[in-house]
């Protein structure tokens, strides 16, 4: 595993400094960190050193972080100097952020997507979201491990495994899977390697790892956040979103990274208002069925629904009535087509030191490096994508229009026919045992409808099964992001006070 460790020159081991480091690990939210800066109980440099020390100490056990940004300490020092001069960089002043390693950055770190084929992919440019973070005063701390190629390489892969980073382990039980593909991002936040991490999602890759590792996360609506500078899977569904220790923090980061970007046409002419809507003392909540989840997850969900009723809200059992028989077949066809077209374009634009310039090249590279790249599973999805005929654009567009309309209609019908304020469901069952031979064994998922429709999907860490986190999904209606944020906060307040178990 490749870990770029900073050789820290500060080796003062006084009791005072050890006590300060211990206190720093208790700082998890943006408001707590900013309060600590303002009352001079810590500095951005001290806190950043604490994160790096913590990563160096614990990461060998969890494999959550691939690389530490060499300039992280210098970034922190500059922010401390700014604060000392009476200035504040922005809403994320001195907040350390880890990035999933498919998000590009300036400097010397490669953007690998977990693949040895991209180990020299030093693009030396910031993705749009990274530019936004820097402008808001954030510290780019490093890159997090992920499922190689965002879980789009093999039907039998283990989530959280990459040839670059190895197998990421669940933050609550190292024998269990972290889910993926934003595995390291979720584990890192859960272990407080950083208060914030960014993940990416095509279908479940933000919400599932957040759920099984017990952190808050938002999969934004389509077009809300630019994907420019992110290794692509599918422009039809790809999104970039935050993970954090609170819903408030996730929303704060979302407000920073969102924005219109001419390099991502999906972001043009999109309403991004995060303004709160008028409060409602009682919500009408639609509860999707949990029959596909584990029995213990179903029991937890029933307790959560009762807690919401006890909190004064109306809970209605609802289910999707629309015929979804073609939806997931269509989704896979769209992802295969998009991936071939978009990864070919991405690879063709990589720096000269990257020798893999096409999907053909990538498949050949994996075959030539089978002992490292295909130690546990092969590349059937890459091969299926490579077999797609990109000249069949008319059929592609027809399929895309059909599947997007079907997902949108299914969600809007849920809301309209049941007169709902918000829809909820379990995000996924508890983490399963990692199995590098047979692959993932998850039970149930609520990610596909909002992923295909392009609506906001929030997961709240408000329950546990056998001491393992289980997230609750909040699924937004079309063009109703503000309502989803507000109602998710209400639900979080009810269930977060005493998490059912």
115, 181, 429, 445: which is the annotated catalytic residue? 181
Q: Comparing C-alpha atoms, which of 154, 95, 121, 372 is closest to residue 230?
A: 121
Determine whether 100 is an active site residue.
yes
Q: Comparing C-alpha atoms, which of 183, 208, 211 is closest to residue 197?
A: 183
d(CA 362, CA 40): 51
67, 100, 143, 445: which is the annotated catalytic residue? 100
pLDDT, residue 366, reads: 99
Determine whether 340 is an active site residue.
no
Q: Comparing C-alpha atoms, which of 97, 140, 106, 355 is closest to residue 244?
A: 97
CB atoms inside a 10 Å sphere around CB 452: 27
pLDDT, residue 278, reads: 80
CB atoms inside a 10 Å sphere around CB 22: 10
Tens-level pLDDT at each residue, the chain (501 residues): 444 333 333 333 333 344 445 568 789 999 999 999 999 999 999 999 999 999 999 999 999 999 999 999 999 999 999 999 999 999 999 999 999 999 999 999 999 999 999 999 999 999 999 999 999 999 999 999 999 999 999 999 999 999 999 999 999 999 999 999 999 999 999 999 999 999 999 999 999 999 999 999 999 999 999 999 999 999 999 999 999 999 999 999 999 999 999 999 999 999 887 766 887 999 999 999 999 999 999 999 999 999 999 999 999 999 999 999 999 999 999 999 999 999 999 999 999 999 999 999 999 999 999 999 999 999 999 999 999 999 999 999 999 999 999 999 999 999 999 999 999 999 999 999 999 999 999 999 999 999 999 999 999 999 999 999 999 999 999 999 999 999 999 999 999 855 556
For the chain, give every domain's residue range: 16-501
pLDDT, residue 66, reads: 99
**Radius of gyration of the chain from its Cα atoms, rounded to whole angstroms:** 22
pLDDT, residue 428, reads: 99
Determine whether 181 is an active site residue.
yes
Per-residue DSSP letters for 218-234? EEPPTTSS--TTB--S-
Burial label, 461 (beta-carbon count in 10 A; 0-12, 13-18, 19+):
buried
Q: Are 276 and 486 in contact (CB under 8 A)?
A: yes
Non-local (6+) Cβ contacts of 51 within 8 A are 96, 141, 192, 193, 194
Residue 303 has φ and ψ, to the nearest 5°, of: -65, -40
Non-local (6+) Cβ contacts of 18 within 8 A are none
pLDDT, residue 6, reads: 35
- DSSP SS3 for 315: strand
pLDDT, residue 21, reads: 53
pLDDT, residue 15, reads: 34
Q: What topology is assigned to 16-501 in CATH?
A: Amidase signature (AS) enzymes (3.90.1300)
205, 445, 446, 447: which is the annotated catalytic residue? 205
d(CA 495, CA 460): 9
Residue 454 has φ and ψ, to the nearest 5°, of: 80, 25
pLDDT tens track for 43-76 = 999 999 999 999 999 999 999 999 999 999 999 9
């Amino acid at each position: 595993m490749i870990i770029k460790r900073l050789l820290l020159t500060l080796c003062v081991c006084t009791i005072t400094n050890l006590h300060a480091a211990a206190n720093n690990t208790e700082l998890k939210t943006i408001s707590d960190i900013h309060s600590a800066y303002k009352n001079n109980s810590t500095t951005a440099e001290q806190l950043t050193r604490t994160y790096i020390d913590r990563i160096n100490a614990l990461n060998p056990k969890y494999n959550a972080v691939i690389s530490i940004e060499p300039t992280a300490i210098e970034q922190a020092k500059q922010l401390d100097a700014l604060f000392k001069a009476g200035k504040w960089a922005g809403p994320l002043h001195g907040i350390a952020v880890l990035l999933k390693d498919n998000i590009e950055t300036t400097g010397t770190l490669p953007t690998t997507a977990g693949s040895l084929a991209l180990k020299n992919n030093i693009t030396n440019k910031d993705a749009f979201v990274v530019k936004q973070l820097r402008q808001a005063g954030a510290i780019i701390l490093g890159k997090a491990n992920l499922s190689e190629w965002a879980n789009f390489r093999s039907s039998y892969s283990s989530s959280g495994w990459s040839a670059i980073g190895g197998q990421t382990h669940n933050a609550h039980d190292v024998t269990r899977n972290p889910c993926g593909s934003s595995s390291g991002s979720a584990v890192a936040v859960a272990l407080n390697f950083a208060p914030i991490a960014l993940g990416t999602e095509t279908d479940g890759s933000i919400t599932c790892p957040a759920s099984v590792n017990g952190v808050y996360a938002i999969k934004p609506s389509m077009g809300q956040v630019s994907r420019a500078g992110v290794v692509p899977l599918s422009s039809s569904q790809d999104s970039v979103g935050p993970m954090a220790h609170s819903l408030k923090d996730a929303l704060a980061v979302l407000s920073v990274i969102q924005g219109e970007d001419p390099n991502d046409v999906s972001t043009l002419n999109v309403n991004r208002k995060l303004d709160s809507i008028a409060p409602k003392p009682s919500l009408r909540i639609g509860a999707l069925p949990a029959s596909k989840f584990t029995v213990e997850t179903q029991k937890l969900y029933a307790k959560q629904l009762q807690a919401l009723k006890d909190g004064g809200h109306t809970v209605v059992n609802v289910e999707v009535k629309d015929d979804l028989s073609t939806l997931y077949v269509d989704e896979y066809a769209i992802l295969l087509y998009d991936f071939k077209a978009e990864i070919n374009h991405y690879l063709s634009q990589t720096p000269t030191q990257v020798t893999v310039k096409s999907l053909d090249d990538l498949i050949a590279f994996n075959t030539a490096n089978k002992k490292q790249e295909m130690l546990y599973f092969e590349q059937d999805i890459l091969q299926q994508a490579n077999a797609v005929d990109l000249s069949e654009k008319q059929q592609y567009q027809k399929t895309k229009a059909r599947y997007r309309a079907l997902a949108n209609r299914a969600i809007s019908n849920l809301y309209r026919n049941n007169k709902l304020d918000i829809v909820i469901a379990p995000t996924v069952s508890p983490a399963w045992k990692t199995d590098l031979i047979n692959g993932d064994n998850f039970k149930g998922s609520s990610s596909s409808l909002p992923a295909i429709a392009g609506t906001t999907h929030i997961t709240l860490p408000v329950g546990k099964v056998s001491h393992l986190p289980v997230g609750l999904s909040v699924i937004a209606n079309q063009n109703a992001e503000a309502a989803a944020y507000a109602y998710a906060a209400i639900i979080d307040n009810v269930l977060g006070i005493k998490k059912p178990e």
